[in-house]
Each structure stands twice: as structure tokens, then as C-alpha cells.
Amino acid sequence: MKICIFSSSSNAINPVYIEEAIKLSKLIGGQKHTLVNGGANVGLMETVLKEAKNAGAKTIGVIPEKLNGHKLASDHADELIVSKDMMERKSIMRNLSDAFIALPGGFGTLEEILEVITLKQLDYHNKAIIFLNTNGFYNDLFKQFERTFDEKFAKPAYRDLYFIANTSEKAINYLKSYSPPQPINKWYKVPQKS
């Protein structure tokens, strides 16, 4: 299985996030999965590439030309794909991958995971999506999701688009037993053509 990991590029984060990323990486490598990520040599991106590779995973990094030009490409990617820009990078990562896991991260991580959720909502794919909620990192985001459901900006059934795992083991176990949900009509009231 090709598992795409969205994660932080920060080197200044609490070690608790690094430790859980290492656990996840070792599980991915130990089960001989392929790791796909942003291919950079900073933050959790570098950590998961290095640790997954050392544990036996094939690793694929996808990095845009601009970042590659800043010498930010990791040496731990078995295969490094250089995209023309960020949009192409995300498209390549999505197309290569069978599942997505978001580790704690910043704006880029949020954008990536929310985009794959939106595309699943619109029936562009039916792949597994997981938030690895280390240290309760995403709790406030999930509260916002609940308000979105409560106020009918999104259907409550969309909770099934993603899974929340508090540990790496729960994330990997979810992938093993993943069964795609049935597509849900996006609209509360379908627009009528005149």
C-alpha cells in the first residue's frame, strides 16, 4: 500500500510529535508499505522519510522545483519527483497514494488534508483519510467540524470521510480494515435545472 503522509516542516516542535511520527514510520516500514510525502529534508517530513526507509519502506518524495532549488530535498527518498509547483505536487501525491494520514502540521498540512477530504466528499476518490491526533493537536479543528455539521454547512454523514486516530497503531489498524463508505449526495437540496 502507498501511504501518503502530510506533516510539518518545522524543526522547532515538541518531541512528542517526533516520537509518534517515528512510531508510525516504523509501522509503515515494518509492513513493507510505500511512504509518499513532500520530499523535504526538514521537520516531520524528513523524520518520516528517514525512519520509514530505515524500517524497510520504499520512500517517494514529491517536491516542487522552487523548494528543490533551495536545497530542501531529502536524501532519504528512494525516488524523488520534482513537480513544477505546489498544485502539481499535491496532484502527484494524491494520484500515487492509496491512503492519506495527516500528522500535526501547519497551514500546508491543513490545506493538504482538507483538500483530500473535499475531493472524497465530491466523489473524486474513495481512499482512506486519517488524522493522527497526537497530543490532541487537532481537537479544536474537530470542534470546528462539529459546528459545521450542527449548522448544516456539511452533512453529519461526512464524519465517515475521515478517521481520527490517537495512536499510530490505531491508524494502521484502520487502514488494514478500511472499507470505503458509500458516496453521499453533497447537497441538502439538489438544485433544479430550469
Query: 107-142, pLDDT tens digit by residue?
Result: 999 999 999 999 999 999 999 999 999 999 999 999
- Give the Å distances, CA to CA, from 17 to 40, 44, 55, 116, 122: 17, 8, 19, 22, 31
Which CATH number is 147's domain given?
Answer: 3.40.50.450
Does some domain include residue 58? yes
Does some domain include residue 189? no
The 10s digit of each residue's pLDDT in 35-73 is 999 999 899 999 999 999 999 999 999 999 988 777 888
| Beta-carbon contacts of residue 7 (< 8 Å; ≥ 6 apart) | 21, 37, 38, 43, 44, 45, 48, 102, 103, 104, 105, 109
Integer Cα distance of 187 and 170 in angstroms: 32
pTM passes above 0.85: yes
Range of 41's domain?
A: 2-176
pLDDT band at 187 (very low <50, low <70, confident <90, very high): low
How many domains would you assign to the chain?
1
